[in-house]
Amino acid sequence: MATTSCTVYIGSFVHCRSVTELEIENDGAIGVDKSGVIRFVLRGAGGNAENIKKTLEFKEAFEHGHVEFVIVKKGGWFFPGFIDTHIHASQYPNTGLFGKTTLLDWLNTYTFPLESSFSDLDKARKIYSRAVARTLAHGTTTASYYTTFHVPATNLLADICLAKGQRAFVGRVCMDQLSPEYYRDESIEIGTENSRKCIDYVRSIDPAGEIVQPIITPRFAPSCSKGCLAALGKLQKETDAYCQTHISENKPEIELVQQLFPESGSYANVYEEAGLLNEKMILAHAVHLTPMEKELIVRRKAKVSHCPASNTALTSGCCPVRDLIERGIDVGLGTDVSGGFSPSILEMVRQTVWVSRHLAMTDGDQAKLTHEEALYLATRGGAKVVGMQDKVGGFEVGKHFDAQMIWLGDAEDIEGCDEFAAREGPVDIFGWENEEDRIAKWVYNGDDRNTLAVWVKGRLVHRRKEYDC
Amino acid sequence: MATTSCTVYIGSFVHCRSVTELEIENDGAIGVDKSGVIRFVLRGAGGNAENIKKTLEFKEAFEHGHVEFVIVKKGGWFFPGFIDTHIHASQYPNTGLFGKTTLLDWLNTYTFPLESSFSDLDKARKIYSRAVARTLAHGTTTASYYTTFHVPATNLLADICLAKGQRAFVGRVCMDQLSPEYYRDESIEIGTENSRKCIDYVRSIDPAGEIVQPIITPRFAPSCSKGCLAALGKLQKETDAYCQTHISENKPEIELVQQLFPESGSYANVYEEAGLLNEKMILAHAVHLTPMEKELIVRRKAKVSHCPASNTALTSGCCPVRDLIERGIDVGLGTDVSGGFSPSILEMVRQTVWVSRHLAMTDGDQAKLTHEEALYLATRGGAKVVGMQDKVGGFEVGKHFDAQMIWLGDAEDIEGCDEFAAREGPVDIFGWENEEDRIAKWVYNGDDRNTLAVWVKGRLVHRRKEYDC
């Protein structure tokens, strides 16, 4: 859905210049055409619309007079939209519910009963609508979703994402063993056929795949037979779709895979043997990979979704992210709702920092990740994981404008507050903070209240009341 | 400041029955007299004001007709106010700013320059007002504050807490070495005298110590000479005031203490030798204590403030909380702003769970703490740490009414949302959650938006706009 006019986004913008470094431009202007593509990026733009009108190289639209201006609130900035590379949309109502469980009992206690209820399309609509609205509110402009094994409900999520304008990979969950009898594919053939139906449907509603795309989704090796995985490998070759699954999340799960696939030699090799380990594969977790598995993943160019909140909540372990990055593996962040307790990628940025510090307590300082590095994983890193590095993740000419407007509030508000008042937003600004301080305050104390508006491909897909003030 | 009428708080209430178990009463009524003291707690109260009027044993006030009713919003509950046993009010503007530092360089980079600026009382007023308003908004009804070494600014914080109605321990920071020359007590005598001035002032404005109390505050052993600590030990005996300091936060700090106090044998013994290790001592962090130090702390009945966010952010280590509790040490939670990145004790409840899971990854499952246990530490545990276990931390007759009204929003809201809407609050309720689920969703996804109102000793000290709806 294109916007009706070209738009120039004026004011500060921040994005990742490299894995370790942010670019902070305080006087920027980003020109976006009607199709949502960035046509120019100005630095030192002169600070106001008149100057920009004079200097911009965006002639065509001006000649026709159809240009709108969006000016960031004072002290705020545009930031690339977040990319959630691993989220179970169907588990969204269980966010925060995991008790004392670890992975395998968590699946039976919380997850399978909920997922199996998605035969009810009204329920599915309610849950998926909330999940998409909520993640958009947190600045997630692209999400790679797991659904359930139901075809109609899976297709409904694709409809909802397309209608709300969130980029999404939508994946029907495949499994033919080790899940309850009431919730597994009846046969390999029926499961594969159902996955094909979802692929066809998603491609029918968005033929160019600009907003929604299908993704083949074997839940994880323990719940898929060798035949099931092989059939999905074949399906991937035929359809050239993306694929997502889980790997090496916790130790009992790894032992289970060794028991179930004794001849495969390693967890990664189970996917390799099925033809699924390739550059279109997103592997969630990857906490306990062996060096040989890492080497195989590097060779196959498969991607990793780091899910720090889930790995901590379920006591799975600490993913050695720096090691994966240094080996050349593309890593993005995933909320892993509802193994993860939060639908916010900003919270995952924090959790990435915390997990890296816990890893540093045992493995040494080199394991530590800065919040700049975590922001990279949340944007450009995630873009690589979903194969969209040329399209989203930063503000460059030719990329699509997937962005959020960040605002922390005014320092002046502090003076005028009455006896009871705490600022509406979660961050207190005193007025003496420099740019790096403001970004750190956003990262460590910010939440959805600081994301005033969100755009995908130039379309406004979320706004808060403060956006209009 | 007493309220003008007796009040009955009607509806659900939740508090900790034991370290491991919550009491959830869905049909409660808590009667509070004019002085803020709980006079009755009804269970199965009949659900409405009329029934309660008929059944309550709270005759006196009724005879005079001065009773107000506060009814919790549907689906909400009253919960005891949180107790922050360790927070640096003066560092509040630096919340979220710590970069890549660990403890000792963090002090020099972020902390000392800010703290030393509190000679400016206008600046102090701005910062302290925000810190108190913000922590009240997060449901903190009692806080143990560190200030700076300035007498007037310290006294100002006591004034602000008394005016806003937050229970507080207010402690002038003492140090006579290893801080910058511009920011240390000129001599032991001057430092001790300044601390005495603050004790006298705080006791002059609240002679009964109902809301504000003084607390003697040697920053930590490395920045206090042996003479300084001994003088403060003597001051404590003379004044019978509480005392707070830091202990065994990270390993380089512990080595520094060994170098500075080679004859003391241990970090804990440095405080013991000064006469400071007793039941009125709050020790923050206690991450790396030796078994002998723990035994000494048990014998002296000193208390521990667990600061999980700070210990993770500064890569200090994982405090073995279960071990401390099982030894019989009283443990509460502390935000440790700004070593900690959040002023919210609810966030500390989460962080306590996360740190315990990271400890479990190396030390085994017995290290894990549940969120019920963490809520205990945030309320009753904290009350013991500050010596108020007979006064606050739960809803029992004779205790003071320090409470917050929690509300997650209505399930019905979900249907009516328009295209852009995400719910204003951070939690999505679908309507099928049981009570335990709702509490878990609050703990893991909630924030200050779910704390609609806060009372200290029966006085309304914070409210959100939704409270009046």
Q: Which of A385, A411, A431 is the last residue of a domain?
A: A385
| Per-residue three-class SS string for A384-453 | HHCCCCCCCCCCCCCCECCEEEECCCCCCHHHHCCCCCCCCCCCCCCCCCCHHHHHHHHHHHCCHHHEEE
Q: How far is CA B110 from the centre of its chain?
A: 23
Residue B134: CB partners within 8 Å, gap ≥ 6? A422, A423, A428, B92, B343
B420 contacts in A (CB within 8 Å)? 133, 461-463
The complex's ipTM works out to 0.96
Statement: residue B55 has pLDDT above 70 = no
**B287 shares its domain with B194:** yes
| A221 within some domain | yes
Residue B98 in any domain: the answer is yes
Nearest to B420 among A93, A427, A463 (CB): A463
What one-character-per-residue DSSP string does A80-144 give?
EPEEEEEEEGGGGGGTT--TT--HHHHIIIIIHHHHGGGG-HHHHHHHHHHHHHHHHHTTEEEEE
Inspect the interface and report whether the beta carbons of A354 and B417 lie closer than 8 Å: no
User: What CATH number does the domain containing A444 carry?
Assistant: 2.30.40.10
Question: Is A375 in the same domain as A434?
Answer: no
- Across the interface, whether the CB atoms of A342 and B126 are under 8 A apart is answered no
Mean pLDDT within B159-171: 98
Interface test with A, best of B103, B140, B314, B428 (most A CBs within 10 A): B428
Q: Using an 8 Å Cβ cutoff, are B218 and B175 in contact?
A: yes
Q: Do both B88 and B114 map to the same domain?
A: yes
Over residues B58-71, the pLDDT tens digits come to 655 555 667 888 99
Is the omega angle on the peptide bond into residue B338 within 30 degrees of 0, that is, cis?
Answer: yes
Domain check: are B324 and B353 in the same one?
yes
pLDDT score at A418? 47
Whole-angstrom distance, CA of residue B428 vs CA of residue B253: 44
Evaluate whether A110 touches A53 at the Cβ level (below 8 Å).
no
% of chain A surpassing 70 pLDDT: 92
CATH of the domain at B171: 3.20.20.140
* Residue A415: pLDDT over 60: no
Going by pLDDT thresholds of 50, 70 and 90, the confidence category of residue A465 is confident
Residues forming a β-bridge with A32: A7, A38
CA separation, residue A46 to residues A10, A11, A51 (Å):
10, 10, 6
* Per-residue DSSP letter, A4: S
Q: How far is A40 from chain B (nearest CA, A)?
A: 28
Q: What is the DSSP string of A134-149?
A: HHHHTTEEEEEEE--S
Identify which of A272, A274, A140, A162 has the alpha carbon closest to the alpha carbon of residue A214: A162
Mean pLDDT of all residues belonging to chain B: 92
CA–CA distance from A111 to each of A67, A107, A157, A337 (Å)? 48, 5, 18, 11
Residues B398 and B338 placed together within one structural domain of the fold: no
Q: Which of B141, B142, B139, B79 is nearest to B448 (CA)?
A: B139
pLDDT of the residue at B162: 98
Instruction: For residue A1, tell me if it sits in a domain.
Output: no
Residues A75 and A87 occupy one common structural domain = no
* The predicted structure's pLDDT at residue B245: 98
A202 pLDDT exceeds 50? yes
Asked whether the predicted pLDDT for residue A145 surpasses 50, the reply is: yes
**Domain-located, residue B452:** yes
pLDDT tens-digit map of B252-276:
999 999 999 999 999 999 999 999 9
Residue A39 lies in a domain: yes
The mean pLDDT of B342-352, rounded to a whole number, is: 98
Give per-residue pLDDT as tens, A108-132: 888 999 999 999 999 999 999 999 9
CA distance A236 to chain B (A): 34
Q: How far is CA B448 from CA A346, A460, B426, in A?
A: 17, 28, 9
Do residues B144 and B53 both lie within one domain?
no
> CA B255 to CA B267: how far, in whole Å?
9
CA distance B438 to chain A (A): 9
Coil/strand/helix, residue B197? helix
**In the predicted structure, residue A59 carries a pLDDT above the cut 80:** no
Average pLDDT on B353-375 reads 97
Q: Pairing mode, if any, of strands A242-247 and A212-218?
A: parallel
Average pLDDT over residues B363-373: 96
User: Which residue in chain B is spatially nearest to A462 when comparing CA positions?
Assistant: B420
Report the pLDDT value the prediction gives residue A50, as an integer from 0 to 100: 67
- The answer to whether the Cβ–Cβ distance between A126 and B354 falls below 8 Å is no
Q: What is the DSSP letter of A37?
A: B
Instruction: Let me know if residue B1 belongs to a domain.
Output: no
Q: Residues B90-113: what's their mean pLDDT?
A: 87
Per-residue pLDDT reduced to its tens digit, B387-416: 999 999 999 999 999 999 999 987 765 554
Chain mean position to CA B460: 18
Q: Are A315 and B164 a contacting pair at CB < 8 A?
A: no
Query: Would you call the peptide bond into A338 cis, given omega within 30 degrees of 0 as the criterion?
Result: yes
End of a domain among B357, B385, B413? B385
CA distance A441 to chain B (A): 5
B93 contacts A430? CB cut-off 8 A:
yes
Structure tokens at A437: 């301080």
Task: List, in order, residues 6 or more apart from A202 with CB less than 8 Å away.
Answer: A155, A158, A170, A212, A213, A214
pLDDT tens column, B278-291: 999 999 999 999 99
Do A276 and A407 lie in one domain? The reply is no
Q: Which amino acid would we find at residue A213?
A: Q
- Across chain A, mean pLDDT equals 92
A102: containing domain = 82-385
Best probe of the B interface among A103, A423, A445, A465, by most B CBs < 10 A, is A445
B411's tokens: 């399930």
Asked if residue A323 belongs to a domain, the reply is yes
Q: What is the mean pLDDT of residues A156-185?
A: 96
Last residue of a domain, which of B326, B353, B385?
A: B385
Sign of CA dihedral A260, A262, A267, A269: negative
pLDDT on residue B341? 96
Identify which of B97, B315, B448 has the shortest CB distance to residue A437: B97
Chain B interface mutation, best of A338, A354, A465, highest count of B Cβ atoms under 10 Å:
A354
> Is residue A228 located within the same domain as residue A350?
yes
Structural domain total, chain A:
2
Least confident of A32-41, A46-55, A322-331, A359-368: A46-55
Q: Which of A296-305, B274-283, B414-423, B445-454 has the lowest mean pLDDT?
A: B414-423
User: Which residue type is seen at B339?
Assistant: G
Residues A67, A145 within the same domain: no
Comparing CA positions, the residue from A251, A208, A245 lying closest to residue A457 is A208
Same-domain check for residues B263 and B150:
yes
Look at residue B31 and tell me if it is in a domain: yes
Provide the greatest CA pair distance for chain B.
70
Cβ neighbours around A117 below 10 Å, total: 18
Residue B77, SS3?
strand
What is the percent of chain B where pLDDT is above 70?
Answer: 92
Residues in Cβ contact with B60 at an 8 Å cutoff, skipping those fewer than 6 apart: none
Mean pLDDT of A294-312: 98
Q: Classify each residue of B99-122 as buried b or exposed e, where b means 16 or more C-beta atoms within 10 Å of its C-beta.
A: eebbbbebbeebbbebbbbbeeee
Q: Rounded distance, CA A131 to CA A118, Å? A: 14
Residue from B82, B126, B146 nearest B461 by CA: B82
Residue A469 pLDDT > 80: no
Q: What is the pLDDT, as a whole number, of residue A54?
A: 60
The answer to which of A237-251, B61-75, B132-146, B155-169 has the lowest mean pLDDT is B61-75
Q: What pLDDT does residue A414 have?
A: 53
Token pair recorded at residue B396: 């029992």
Sequential DSSP letters for B137-190: HTTEEEEEEE--S-HHHHHHHHHHHHHHT-EEEEE-EE--SSS-GGGS-SSHHH
Please indicate whether residue A416 or residue B28 has the higher confidence score (pLDDT).
B28
**A contacts of B366 (beta carbons < 8 Å):** none
pLDDT band at B109 (very low <50, low <70, confident <90, very high): confident
**Per-residue pLDDT averaged across A372-398, rounded?**
98
Q: How many CA atoms lie within 13 A of B244 on its CB side?
A: 29
Judge if B74 and B96 occupy the same domain.
no
- To the nearest 10°, the Cα dihedral for A156, A158, A162, A165? 110
Contact between A100 and B415 using a beta-carbon 8 Å cutoff: no
Distance of CA B411 to the CA centre of its chain: 32
Mean predicted confidence (pLDDT) in B94-112: 85
The answer to whether B179 and B219 have CB atoms below 8 angstroms apart is yes
Helices (H), B317-412: 321-327, 345-363, 371-376, 382-385
Nearest by CB: A134 against B100, B422, B441: B422
CA A281 to chain CA centroid, Å, is 15
B428 and A317 within 8 Å at the Cβ level: the answer is no
State both tokens at B55. 């059944």
pLDDT of residue B73: 85
- pLDDT at position B195: 98
